[in-house]
Structure 1
Amino acid sequence: MSKTQERVDASSNGVPQQGRLSGPVAPPRVSARRRRPGVIALSLALIAAGGAGVAVLLLQVGHRTEVVTVVRDVQVGQVLTEDDLGKASIALDPAVKAVRAGDLDSVVGKRAAVELKPGSLLAPSQVTKDSLVKAGEQLVPIGLKPEQVPATALVPGQKVELVHVPAQGQEEAGKTSDAPPRTIKGRVVKASGAAPGTGVVVVDVATSAADGPTAAAWVAAGTLRLVLAAPDGE
């Protein structure tokens, strides 16, 4: 037999004998991995922590409060309008006093008792239904040097007395040196911050229309001093 014939006999349909499968092939055996109790416990702890975090977040969202905010500058004594105010939903601390959004209509039409800045919450004490300058009153601006400014903060509505102090070496005609100085009752409407460089504070004081010109003359002469009145205003 020729070598060519032997090659043909050694194959079937041209496929070598060594390439044939002798039977079904068993799948590879995969050894079972040993489970680690510590890893399982850690996984469960992480899942629990994640669930607790989600629960806290949901509680915070659920306890947000709608409050009134200031959306543009409002000067002292200015009447509030709806355009001056907005609403925001925040997680409000019980210690913070803020006007609730449902009470917005109750503050519209009132006057700002203090200067209001955009982005701040509106507190009930920052508005008043009373005009800061009433009928029959005049507004007198008074410049106070740093040494004349009281340590107690000057706030709108605070009652003060304007005291006339004659210039050194001078006395009013008909007045003796031991006579009490003249005073004018007033009420703070607004107090500015200290001016850069000079530290001068400008205080707007409301006085009666009859006393306004006198107080203005004292200011011009540099003979006016401002003192705080008693807490009861008397």
Structure 2
Amino acid sequence: MSKTQERADTASSYTALQQGQVAGPVTPRRVSARRRRPGVIALSLALIAAGGAGAAVLLLQVGHRTEVVTVVRDVHVGQVLTEDDLGKASIALDPAVKAVRADDLGAVVGKRAAVELKPGSLLAPSQVTKDNLVKAGEQLVPIGLEPKQIPATALVPGQKVKLVHVPAQGATDTGEKSDVAPQTIDGRVVKASSAAPGTGIVVVDVAASATDGPTAAAWVAAGTLRLVLSAPDGS
């Protein structure tokens, strides 16, 4: 065989080999098909819808504001409220918070403060009263209490108390027990001050009957008076 024939056969074989490689079968890429789950899709859509509805309700609640009455300056217990003591504010009011609406401002003007009112606070219906804290036939008796005489329970306006007469300090003790009950006077707290710096003394204004007022004042002057809290039912 001639060299020319050998080159032709080699070229034919190489061409056939290339054609065979090109024409051979190609294995396709395996693609994992996701299995559709209608239940999961429906649940997802429901959660999205619920979240959107909740957000809409929250936006409506935040956007809803209420005009309420506020306190703009200090008002003492028993003081008559005036328009200068009160103001208005627009806030997002929680239903659990009881506040006087701005439309009722005129209804609280002229009433008395049942508690101490501080600037910047909301005015609640329970903080005002139409009654005079010292009623007809009563007298106001101021009582100074040392730190050891102050009850752990906070004294608040309207709280019922008993004024108890005790033996004066330095009185002779005979060692005999007396069956006579100590003398007492019924009273009602009108106001309790803060503890005085240095001494810690708290002054409590107590309303007592006009007939008992002078006696209670004498006990205070003699240092023979003690204040006792009464039970909620007055007993």
Q: Same fold (TM over 0.5)?
A: yes
1:233 to 2:234 alignment? yes
Amino acid paired to 1:83: D
1:138 to 2:168 alignment? no
Task: Tell me whether 59-68 or 128-137 shows the greater mean CA deviation.
Answer: 59-68
CA deviation profile, 1:81-109 (whole Å, cap 9, x unmatched)? 22211110012222222111122122111
Shift, 1:56, TM fit? 8.8
Shift, 1:182, TM fit? 0.4
Shift, 1:145, TM fit? 0.9
- 3-state SS, counterpart of residue 205 of structure 2: strand
- The match for 1:152 is 153
Q: Are 2:99 and 2:125, in contact at CA under 8 Å, matched by a contact in 1? A: yes
CA distance in 1, matches of 2:225, 2:143: 9
- 3-state SS, counterpart of residue 214 of structure 1: helix
CA distance in 2, matches of 1:233, 1:127: 22
Which ranges in structure 1 are unaligned for 5 or more consecutive residues? 1-53
- The match for 1:177 is 178
1:190 to 2:191 alignment? yes
Amino acid paired to 1:112: A
Amino acid paired to 2:98: K
More helix by share: 2
- The match for 1:112 is 113
1:166 to 2:167 alignment? yes
Segments of 4+ moved more than 4 angstroms = 54-58
Shift, 1:55, TM fit? 7.2
- 3-state SS, counterpart of residue 187 of structure 1: strand
With structure 2 as the length reference, what TM-score do the two structures score?
0.70
CA deviation profile, 1:156-215 (whole Å, cap 9, x unmatched)? 0111000000124538xxxx7331000001000000111112111110000111111111
- The match for 1:101 is 102
Task: Tell me whether 124-133 or 98-107 shows the greater mean CA deviation.
Answer: 98-107
Amino acid paired to 2:144: G
1:125 to 2:126 alignment? yes
* Aligned counterparts, 1:52-91, within 5 A: 59=60, 62-91=63-92
Aligned residues: 179
Which ranges in structure 2 are unaligned for 5 or more consecutive residues? 1-54
CA deviation profile, 1:110-134 (whole Å, cap 9, x unmatched)? 1100111111110111111111001
Q: Name the % identity.
A: 87
With structure 1 as the length reference, what TM-score do the two structures score?
0.70
Amino acid paired to 1:178: D
- The match for 1:210 is 211
- 3-state SS, counterpart of residue 190 of structure 1: strand
CA distance in 2, matches of 1:61, 1:105: 28
- The match for 1:45 is none
| RMSD over equivalenced CA pairs, Å | 2.2
CA distance in 1, matches of 2:180, 2:138: 28
Q: Are 2:63 and 2:92, in contact at CA under 8 Å, matched by a contact in 1? A: no
CA distance in 1, matches of 2:179, 2:197: 38
1:90–1:222 Cα change, 3 Å: same
- The match for 1:48 is none
CA deviation profile, 1:12-46 (whole Å, cap 9, x unmatched)? xxxxxxxxxxxxxxxxxxxxxxxxxxxxxxxxxxx
CA distance in 1, matches of 2:205, 2:189: 6
